Amino acid sequence: MHELFDKALGAYLGFAIGDALGATVEFMRPREIEVQYGVHREIIGGGWLKLARGQVTDDTTMSLALGSALLQGGQRDLQRFADGDDALLRSIGRAYVLWFKGKPVDCGNTCRRGIMRFMHEGTLAGAYNPGDAGNGALMRNLPAVLATLGRDADFIRLSIAQAHLTHHHPLSDAATLGIGELLRQLLGGASQGECQSWAAQWVSENPAFRFVPYRGRATAYVVDTVQTVLHYLTLHDDFETALVATVNQGDDADTTGALLGMLAGARCGAGALPQRWLHRLHADIVRSITDQTSGLLALSG
Ligand code: MN
Ligand code: MN
């Protein structure tokens, strides 16, 4: 249990570190980053969002919103969800609305549209939309993985259901489940070699995400995001090396950084995260993440 907690906390804190580090260079091209920073490797804030040093963005705060809804509903709502009741999804929808009304520092267009739709129509999913292949549903799924650990069917249903509140596209679904499953493997103690074999097998079943040879695209299109994350995760065993390489690819760097940080953080555990980055995160975020990690693991039983 102690080892699982360390890995789960490593994933959630690694996620926030990747968000805070990557946000400085979000939407920049790799060459622009090189000119401005050489290699970008410190959490300094700034970027197009003019962040404070150590501030996280929508990736982390929206994940915390999902986590809080899961914790609020507790075991009872999770069990009802498994039995086909939608009360839990409604409270997740309300948590996203509350998050949105709190004027987050950023909100993706597809997330905004889905949250507005839920607010005004009360529907839990939009129709299939060819424009919904962004990474916004994938990016916030970590709490759903933790809350359903050890329960395969609930993991799949909850991940897809929370995703469809804002994103309804088969590539978003495949990415959310794929990266979620890889996180489960790493929380279960998968080695770097096992991680590489898992990724190779998964892309052979989901060829849209093939990342060898790596095309060097790191946009918010979920295919580009997943390719970037898998490329650097399988290339580098070390958390810091993998994360620095990822965010210096630019573009949607806070989100690729967050997802890489999540997977690499699960691989190494919270105890092995670079201290100088951990200390830069704001104390309230670290506290929320730590509380949610215990709570969500307890929920999973
Ligand atoms: Mn963001
Ligand atoms: Mn982003």
51-68 pLDDT per residue, tens: 999 999 999 999 999 999
255: CA distance to ligand 1 center in Å?
6
Counting ligands in written order, which one lies closest to the CA of residue 134? Answer: 2
Counting ligands in written order, which one lies closest to the CA of residue 224? Answer: 2
Domains of the chain as residue ranges with CATH: 2-300 (1.10.4080.10)
76: CA distance to ligand 1 center in Å?
32
Return the pLDDT at 177.
98
258: CA distance to ligand 1 center in Å?
9
Counting ligands in written order, which one lies closest to the CA of residue 252? Answer: 2
Say how far apart CA 59 and CA 199 lie, in whole Å: 23
Counting ligands in written order, which one lies closest to the CA of residue 57? Answer: 1
133: CA distance to ligand 2 center in Å?
14
Counting ligands in written order, which one lies closest to the CA of residue 107? Answer: 1
Using N-to-C axis directions, what is the helix angle for 222-235 and 239-247, rounded to 10°? Answer: 150
Residue 298 CA to its chain's centroid (Å): 20
Return the pLDDT at 160.
98
- The Cβ of residue 78 has, within 10 Å, a number of other Cβ atoms equal to 20
Return the pLDDT at 301.
84
| DSSP annotation of 207 | G
99-155 pLDDT per residue, tens: 999 999 999 999 999 999 999 999 999 999 999 999 999 999 999 999 999 999 999
Which sign, positive or negative, has the C-alpha torsion 155, 161, 167, 172?
Answer: positive
59: CA distance to ligand 1 center in Å?
5
The DSSP code sequence of 232-287 is HHHH--SHHHHHHHHHTT-SSHHHHHHHHHHHHHHHH-GGGS-HHHHTTS-HHHHH
Q: Who surrounds ion ligand 1 at CB < 5 A?
A: 57-59, 106, 254
Say how far apart CA 197 and CA 39 lie, in whole Å: 30
Written as tens digits, the pLDDT of the chain (301 aa) is: 599 999 999 999 999 999 999 999 999 999 999 999 999 999 999 999 999 999 999 999 999 999 999 999 999 999 999 999 999 999 999 999 999 999 999 999 999 999 999 999 999 999 999 999 999 999 999 999 999 999 999 999 999 999 999 999 999 999 999 999 999 999 999 999 999 999 999 999 999 999 999 999 999 999 999 999 999 999 999 999 999 999 999 999 999 999 999 999 999 999 999 999 999 999 999 999 999 999 999 999 8
260: CA distance to ligand 2 center in Å?
13
Query: Which of 10, 29, 66, 12 has the alpha carbon at shortest distance from 253?
Result: 29
Contact call for residues 262 and 34 (beta carbons, < 8 A): no
Counting ligands in written order, which one lies closest to the CA of residue 59? Answer: 1
Say how far apart CA 110 and CA 255 lie, in whole Å: 15
Structure tokens at 36: 């401005």
98: CA distance to ligand 2 center in Å?
20
226: CA distance to ligand 2 center in Å?
13
The DSSP code sequence of 124-193 is S-PPP-TT--BSHHHHT-HHHHHHTTT-HHHHHHHHHHHHHTT---HHHHHHHHHHHHHHHHHHTT--HH
